[in-house]
Amino acid sequence: MIYLDNSATTKPYPEIVDTYSKVASTYFGNPSSLHSLGMQAEGLVTESRSRIANVLGVKAKEIIFTSGGTEGNNIAIKGTAWAKRSRGKHLITTQVEHASVFEAFAQLEQEGFEVTYLPVDHEGRIHVSELESAIRPDTTLVSVIHVNNETGTIQPVYEIGQLLGNFPQIHFHVDYVQGLTKVPLNIRKARIDLCSCSAHKFHGMKGTGFLFVREGLRIDSLFHGGDQENQLRAGTENVAGIVAMAKALRVAFEKQSRHSELVRLREQLIRDLETIEGVVINSPIKHVAPHIINFSILGTKPEVVVQALTAKEVYVSTKSACSSKLSAPSRVLSAMGFSEERASSGIRVSFSYETTKQEIDRFITEIKAIIPELREVINS
Helical segments of 151-236, H only: 157-164
**Mean pLDDT calculated for residue range 58-77:** 97
pTM of the model: 0.94
Per-residue confidence band for 328, with pLDDT thresholds at 50, 70 and 90: confident
Q: How far apart are CA 100 and CA 282, in angstroms?
A: 22
User: Quick one: pLDDT at residue 324?
Assistant: 47
User: Quick one: pLDDT at residue 222?
Assistant: 80
Helical segments of the chain, H only: 14-26, 36-56, 69-83, 99-110, 128-134, 157-164, 239-254, 259-273, 302-310, 331-335, 340-343, 357-379
Q: Domain segments of the chain: what residues?
A: 2-9+257-379, 14-254
Higher-pLDDT residue of 322, 158? 158
**Mean pLDDT calculated for residue range 200-204:** 97
**Mean pLDDT calculated for residue range 358-375:** 90
User: Quick one: pLDDT at residue 230?
Assistant: 74
CATH fold for the domain made of 14-254: Aspartate Aminotransferase; domain 2 (3.40.640)
pLDDT for 173 beyond 90: yes
User: Quick one: pLDDT at residue 376?
Assistant: 64
**Mean pLDDT calculated for residue range 36-51:** 91
- Amino acid identity of residue 65, one-letter, is F
Residue 322 appears among annotated catalytic residues: yes
Identical fold for domains 2-9+257-379 and 14-254, yes or no, is no
Is the separation of the CB atoms in 280 and 174 below 8 Å? Answer: no
User: Quick one: pLDDT at residue 326?
Assistant: 54
Sign of the Cα pseudo-torsion (348, 353, 354, 359, in order): positive
User: Quick one: pLDDT at residue 39?
Assistant: 86
Q: How far apart are CA 299 and CA 378, in angstroms?
A: 8
| Strand duo 2-3 + 314-315: pairing | parallel
CATH class of the region 2-9+257-379: alpha beta
Helix (H) or strand (E) holding 348: strand 346-350
| C-alpha pair distances (Å), 244 with each of 21, 202, 230, 247 | 9, 11, 21, 5
Q: How far apart are CA 217 and CA 207, in angstroms?
A: 25
Q: Which listed residue (55, 322, 364, 374) is catalytic?
A: 322
By CB atoms closer than 10 A (0-12, 13-18, 19+), residue 341 is exposed
